[in-house]
Amino acid sequence: MISILIPTYNYSIFPLVKILHEQCSVLNIPFEISVLEDASTKVFTENTEIVSLKNTSYRKLETNVGRTKTRNLLAENAQYNWLLFLDADTTPVNDNFIEKYIEELNQITSVVFGGIQYSQEKPTREYLLRWVYGTKRESKSVFERNKNPYYIISQNLFIEKNTFLQINKHLDNSYGMDNIFSYRLQKNGMEVKHIDNPVYHHGLEKGSVFLEKSLMAIDTLIYQESKNNISENFTSLQKFYLKLKRMHLVEFTYKIIDPFLIKMKHNLCSEKPNIILLDFYKLYHYIKLKHGK
């Protein structure tokens, strides 16, 4: 009936597996929980306890292959036709988390996204940027998500096996591939259903790391544009750039932002990060790459 697939790297996964196992067991449904550890460098002995639970498997790769490849390996070896992908650093918000997804099995859609939430408690300053971004940009109601239904965060994704293998085929192991995955869903005419079934995202990165990864995601976006793997007007960043281009304001915007980059970065790693500044910080990098500056 359902294969719960969890790629992990340097994280203690047993508590999440235990929660999921309990929910599945109560429902008395055919299920499996498969964990694939991507050559972690840290040792979490409790992870090996996963196999003590019925219908679970745990395997560790000897060589790091990245999240995209790890997910493909999990999907290819899954027993059941419906796959629930969860990140290791998540926890279901609801006690009926699995039940809510099971209710979607008889629907016509092959892709279901339950949503992401963040703790209401503010983290320390060094992790604040990631928390603010998550609460303002990722944690959205079903109504808000349906305004842009192809905005998918794969931390909590319920999807038919054949659909996933088709859409995820040949994707790179680069940061920011959710945009490419989402675009492929749209291009292939896959209907995405949004439901209220979120998970908490716990694994916050330091602001400096998140900034670096944000720029890496733009590198990926530019590269995938060049390969025609994503249109040039799919993301909000691309759409804003095209608007500036139509108004002949790209060069002007680039020059306006340039002197403030250091101050912007300082703000983003401060106790009061302004997410609008992050948008302009990313826009600057996009223009820089787009125009070979």
pLDDT surpassing 80 at residue 174 = no
- Contact in structure between 86 and 43 (CB atoms under 8 Å): no
The mean pLDDT value for 218-232 works out to: 94
Helices 125-133 & 275-290, crossing angle to 10 degrees? 80
pLDDT surpassing 80 at residue 170 = no
The mean pLDDT value for 186-192 works out to: 93
User: What pLDDT score was predicted for residue 52?
Assistant: 93
pLDDT surpassing 80 at residue 240 = yes
CATH T-level assignment (fold) for domain 2-203: Spore Coat Polysaccharide Biosynthesis Protein SpsA; Chain A (3.90.550)
What are the strands, taking DSSP E only, across the chain? 2-8, 31-37, 56-60, 82-86, 90-92, 111-113, 116-117, 156-160, 192-194, 199-201
- 138 in helix, strand or coil? helix
Each residue's pLDDT tens digit, 46-82: 888 899 999 999 999 999 888 888 999 999 999 999 9
How does DSSP classify residue 204?
A: P
- Contact in structure between 37 and 62 (CB atoms under 8 Å): no
pLDDT surpassing 90 at residue 45 = no
Per-residue pLDDT band for 106 (boundaries 50, 70, 90) equals confident
How far is 141 from 194, CA to CA, in rounded Å?
Answer: 9
- Contact in structure between 285 and 213 (CB atoms under 8 Å): no
The chain-wide mean pLDDT, for the chain, equals 94
Lowest mean pLDDT among 38-52, 129-143, 237-251: 38-52
The mean pLDDT value for 267-289 works out to: 96
Per-residue pLDDT band for 187 (boundaries 50, 70, 90) equals very high
How far is 180 from 121, CA to CA, in rounded Å?
Answer: 32
Is residue 142 packed enough to be buried (19+ CB in 10 Å), middle (13-18) or exposed (0-12)?
Answer: middle
Domain edges within the chain: 2-203, 208-290
Each residue's pLDDT tens digit, 246-256: 999 999 999 99
How far is 10 from 12, CA to CA, in rounded Å?
Answer: 7
pLDDT surpassing 90 at residue 91 = yes
